[in-house]
Amino acid sequence: MNYQLIREECCEANLALPKTGLVDLTFGNVSVLDPDKSVFAIKPSGVDYGELRPEQMVIVDLEGKIVEGELRPSSDTPTHRRLFLAFAESGMRSVVHTHSRSAVAFAQAGRSIPCLGTTHADHFYGSVPVTRAMTAEEINGEYEWETGNVIVETFGQMDPMEIPAVLVRGHGPFAWNVSASKAVEYALALEIVADMALKTFSIAADSPGIDQTLLDKHFLRKHGKSAYYGQG
């Protein structure tokens, strides 16, 4: 099998993370799914971004087996795999995990990011949810896999492509989308709206958030069958 295309897409997206300011040190990773081959590429664990090359991306199948790669994959690989298994049918092909500071602040506070304005509404169709606290059994068991499970549990019947991000309580954000570049874009959008929300609450702690009509207008003009924003 030739996995060069997803290796290159994955490497390029991982290299983009420090350029966006979303990661410190090596705190972040991107994965890219090839749905036809049922495998994904993911960043190797702990490797400095400045050293990354496409051939270093690790290829993992959806059963968790390493298919190709000489390095260990990211420690978050089971979480990425769980999300692909749950959300890939919706069109999601890439997952981004960071420890971006403002989004982490909400995760550490155990608070969702409410939709306070149109910047948020352009990207997320409502509040970005926060997961419940993980149990001691989950933490001491298959921790990274269980992290994916609590994300999937949090979404329930929600459309993961309408709100393509989540905050893992006490941990940090995950974002996803139809391509690696889009997933990185949405990870950045998440950090931007988290920062805006923190500043809004510092001015008005009781801010009521956006009106549903305005939320509908801004989200649906960019997404869905009747979207008219951009060049199509």
Residue 80 lies in a domain: yes
- Let me know if residue 32 belongs to a domain: yes
In a domain, 228, yes or no: no
Say if 230 falls within a structural domain. Answer: no
The DSSP symbol for 98 reads E
Residue 83: inside a domain, yes or no? Answer: yes
pLDDT tens track for 60-74: 999 999 999 999 999
Q: Does 61 map to a domain? A: yes
d(CA 65, CA 165): 26
Residue 80 CA to residue 103 CA, distance in Å, equals: 19
Q: Rounded CA gap, 22 and 207, in Å?
A: 26
CA 88 from centroid of its chain's CA atoms: 13
How far is residue 75 from each of residues 21, 97, 133, 142, measured CA to CA in Å? 21, 11, 20, 11
Range of the domain at 36: 4-220
Structurally, the chain folds into a number of domains equal to 1
Segments in the chain below pLDDT 70: 230-232
User: What are the catalytic residues?
Assistant: 122, 229
For position 85, which CATH number holds? 3.40.225.10
Q: What is the pLDDT of residues 154-165, one digit of tens each?
A: 999 999 999 999
pLDDT digits (tens, 9 = 90+) for 168-187: 999 999 999 999 999 999 99
Residue 229 lies in a domain: no
Structural domain includes residue 208: yes
